[in-house]
Structure 1
Amino acid sequence: MNDKINLNYLENYAHAFSEKVCSEYFGTKKYMSGQEIIQLTPSTQVNFMVIKALFEKWNEELDKLKSNPFFDYKDMAVAEALKEFMNVLSRAIKIENHHFRPLMEIAVIDTVLLAIDPLLYFWGEIEKSKEENPLKHLKASKKYIKWHTKLLAELIEKGGQEESEIYKNTLNDLYQKMLNELEPAQNLLASLNQVLPIDWNALIQSEAEEATVAAMPEVKEEVLDSNEEESEEKIDDLPISHTEPEDDDKESPTAPVIEERKSTPPSGGTIDPALAWARFESEQSGLLKGPIESLEDGVAINQRFMFTKKLFEGNPDLMGHAFKSIDKCDSFVEAIELINDRYVVKLNWDHDSEEVIEFLHLVYRKFDEK
């Protein structure tokens, strides 16, 4: 592909989308329930991406619980009790504004990625399974994915019990075969325009364009006719199923200006840590600006794919080792010195590339309070 997603614009769009939705909803209410999430926006897929995030949060907590060595969580009675407990929790979802906004932002990013680049999105879903067989995770995710369902179903069927690398190869083969059958991204994302119009000229950039721009110009854009049905389902149990949306005629307002982060990478043979720190510190706050405990925790699925492919020669193990090594550093300066020594020169990194800027910003977030 000669075109790619402008990640800076996408992050800022997701932030603005979340701000608009949450400001309208939480202007009169303090909490959001599960049923209200399902009907929150005109995009069924965005709504279910939020539910998917909650489901994954539950699984994370359950994994921590199962790590306790004093109890047998494989016992049938215990397993049934945990399942019932989850069903009870699903009927008692209660989220405040400041907790909900980040979930909404990630849901919008995931929705756009799924629509525009399902190969990248499902690649990320396979990665989430880490060392385990991806089958279980993909089956669970299927209940929340409303687009490109045939591709996902075929992946689950043909992937079998194989490891993640086999699933990735299978995914690539299936994607190439089904490419002409996939629903166009603009059709799928038309419902998002009812909340906040997407500037497609800003979202999709050719590789020849610069990775970042100072600001997006205001553009009047014809929006595809679309609207998604309100769900009448109840959240009795997670996972939740839902029907695909149907179209009707609706025209969106003019797209507002969405400013992007402006960052200039260091230049020269190696990266100057002082200059890099100063430039990232002067940036405007964005979706992924906050501090993180580890690079693994902070990296988004689209970044994981981009870093692996562009910076680490398609080797996820090499990237994983880099993350662990950088996390062990005591300062940003030490981390940049390690990056210079092991990766910048040896792997011929381009300082002006989007992927290097994103990677350095991730490292900055790791050390920005130290």
Structure 2
Amino acid sequence: MERQRSLNTEYAAWYSREFTQKVCNEFFESTETISGEEIATLTPCRQLNLMVIKSLFESWQEQMDLLSRIPFFDFKDKKVISALEDFMNALSRAIKIRQEDFKPLLERSMEKTLKLSVEPFSFMEEELQEQALKSSPDFKGLRKYLKWHAASWQPAVDFLSESPESPAWREKLLQGFDSHFSEEASPEKLLAPISAIMPIDMDQLILWESDTEAHTARPFNEPNEDNLEKAVPADEEAGEAPSDERSLSIDPALAWARFESEEHAYMKGSIEHIREGMGINQRIMFTKRLFQGNPDLMDQALEELDRTDSFFDAVSLMNSSFVNTLKWDVHSDEVQELLQLVFRKFDEASD
């Protein structure tokens, strides 16, 4: 029976975090910022480098989308469009990113690269779905950043470019992978340049399954996890509180202090409603990863957060109503980005 492979997301997240730390420690040892040219050659894996650039470009698009919502200007004016294009071109030649800002960018890109190598069909299905939800999707532009398995997903991109409203693109994607997918482009071969920097345990990275079999890979445990027992408080050892619930709470004071610091000064800017500050990719990410893929649930949560009177009340609501119920990882990028938006809503009120 043919077995299907899937990504061990726990191991992928751990590896991406450790890999990012290693690469950044080495690169930023003698410099404070990284440029666009340096990102393009950061690692021997071209796909990973392009994935970082893709994430950076998408951040630009989100900011431009927010800018275009300002009601006082005509963003369809030809001169404005031309000026914005010149502005974006100038920015692309002036990329300078500090280590603390670059690390989450590289970490997310590493996770995406691992998924593209192990689950290319699933990765592209999600990527094309996200593009389809954008106001100005750029399907053909994906070829600039995504090189692996291009022959397999290109038919779906060609179809979407001509018929962006048709749901038949998924069938084209499936047909493309059936016709062009080659096992020669295995995760082991694709990820070899990355593994040369920091070895990848393929037995941990890949979970194998079939129609009747459960996952055969053992559960992933981070290295030296046996030492964590020493850090468990005595009351938890006595059974008063499960150890896996220790971090399931957001500390509002620490969060406020972090966003108020100079490090996060660029996150400031008053918004009346949390949704106003959300980019397209954030809406997709929050819906999928924080609200179980349910946009109505997210809308209800945002409305409840908007009705709170302070940042601390909002965080208290998040802890009581969402963190445990929806099993949020309070240290995840998604939760932190949502917190940043809540901070922006209440920042001016604190002055």
What is the TM-score normalised by the length of structure 2? 0.67
The corresponding residue for 2:321 is 334
SS at structure 2 position matched to 1:165: coil
- CA-CA distance at 1:97 after TM superposition: 0.5
- CA-CA distance at 1:3 after TM superposition: 3.4
Q: Deviations over 1:115-139 (max 9, x none)?
A: 11111111221232353478x3322
Between structures 1 and 2, the one with greater helix share:
2
Q: Does 1:361 align with 2:336?
A: no
- CA-CA distance at 1:62 after TM superposition: 0.6
The corresponding residue for 1:279 is 244
**Residue pairs, 1:1-370, within 5 angstroms:** 2-129=4-131, 131-132=133-134, 136-159=137-160, 160-163=162-165, 165-180=167-182, 183-206=185-208, 208-209=214-215, 213=219, 215=221, 257=223, 279-282=244-247, 297=282, 304=288, 319-328=294-303, 330-335=317-322, 360-362=327-329, 366=335
Instruction: Say if 1:110 and 1:180 are closer, same or farther in 2 by CA, change over 3 A.
Output: same
C-alpha contact 1:4 1:204 (8 A) present in aligned 2 = yes
- CA-CA distance at 1:200 after TM superposition: 0.6
Instruction: Say if 1:258 and 1:10 are closer, same or farther in 2 by CA, change over 3 A.
Output: farther
- CA-CA distance at 1:324 after TM superposition: 3.1
Instruction: Say if 1:118 and 1:282 are closer, same or farther in 2 by CA, change over 3 A.
Output: same
- CA-CA distance at 1:163 after TM superposition: 2.4
- CA-CA distance at 1:183 after TM superposition: 1.9
CA RMSD in angstroms, aligned pairs only: 3.9
SS at structure 1 position matched to 2:191: helix
Instruction: Say if 1:95 and 1:364 are closer, same or farther in 2 by CA, change over 3 A.
Output: closer
C-alpha contact 1:280 1:364 (8 A) present in aligned 2 = no
Distance in 2 between residues matched to 1:170 and 1:17, nearest whole Å: 35
Distance in 1 between residues matched to 2:178 and 2:290, nearest whole Å: 22
Distance in 2 between residues matched to 1:111 and 1:182, nearest whole Å: 17
- CA-CA distance at 1:154 after TM superposition: 1.7
User: Letter of the aligned partner of 2:150 in structure 1?
Assistant: T
SS at structure 1 position matched to 2:321: helix
Q: Deviations over 1:189-240 (max 9, x none)?
A: 1110111111011111245349984625xxxxxxxxxxxxxxxxxxxxxxxx
Q: Deviations over 1:51-84 (max 9, x none)?
A: 1111001101111111112212112221111111
C-alpha contact 2:5 2:118 (8 A) present in aligned 1 = no
Distance in 1 between residues matched to 2:66 and 2:46, nearest whole Å: 31
Distance in 2 between residues matched to 1:299 and 1:201, nearest whole Å: 31
What is the TM-score normalised by the length of structure 1? 0.64
C-alpha contact 2:6 2:119 (8 A) present in aligned 1 = no
Distance in 2 between residues matched to 1:79 and 1:69, nearest whole Å: 16
SS at structure 1 position matched to 2:327: helix
Distance in 2 between residues matched to 1:130 and 1:178, nearest whole Å: 23
Instruction: Say if 1:171 and 1:320 are closer, same or farther in 2 by CA, change over 3 A.
Output: farther
Gap regions ≥5 residues in structure 1: 217-256, 263-273, 284-289, 340-358
Distance in 1 between residues matched to 2:49 and 2:133, nearest whole Å: 29
- CA-CA distance at 1:175 after TM superposition: 2.2
Report how many aligned residue pairs link the two structures. Answer: 280
Instruction: Say if 1:165 and 1:145 are closer, same or farther in 2 by CA, change over 3 A.
Output: same
C-alpha contact 2:40 2:49 (8 A) present in aligned 1 = yes
Identity %: 29
Q: Deviations over 1:16-38 (max 9, x none)?
A: 11000000011111111111111
Instruction: Say if 1:153 and 1:2 are closer, same or farther in 2 by CA, change over 3 A.
Output: closer
C-alpha contact 1:299 1:362 (8 A) present in aligned 2 = no
Distance in 2 between residues matched to 1:155 and 1:174, nearest whole Å: 7
- CA-CA distance at 1:184 after TM superposition: 1.7
User: Letter of the aligned partner of 1:281 in structure 2?
Assistant: R
Q: Deviations over 1:314-353 (max 9, x none)?
A: xx5xx2223334455534443489x6xxxxxxxxxxxxxx
Instruction: Say if 1:145 and 1:258 are closer, same or farther in 2 by CA, change over 3 A.
Output: farther
SS at structure 1 position matched to 2:141: helix
Instruction: Say if 1:149 and 1:331 are closer, same or farther in 2 by CA, change over 3 A.
Output: closer
User: Letter of the aligned partner of 1:146 in structure 2?
Assistant: K
Instruction: Say if 1:11 and 1:170 are closer, same or farther in 2 by CA, change over 3 A.
Output: same
SS at structure 2 position matched to 1:119: helix
Distance in 1 between residues matched to 2:113 and 2:125, nearest whole Å: 14
C-alpha contact 1:127 1:164 (8 A) present in aligned 2 = no
Q: Deviations over 1:287-335 (max 9, x none)?
A: xxx999899849769x94x999xx7xxxx5xx22233344555344434
Distance in 2 between residues matched to 1:144 and 1:9, nearest whole Å: 25
Q: Deviations over 1:109-167 (max 9, x none)?
A: 11111111111111221232353478x33222221112112223222212222327333
Instruction: Say if 1:172 and 1:26 are closer, same or farther in 2 by CA, change over 3 A.
Output: same
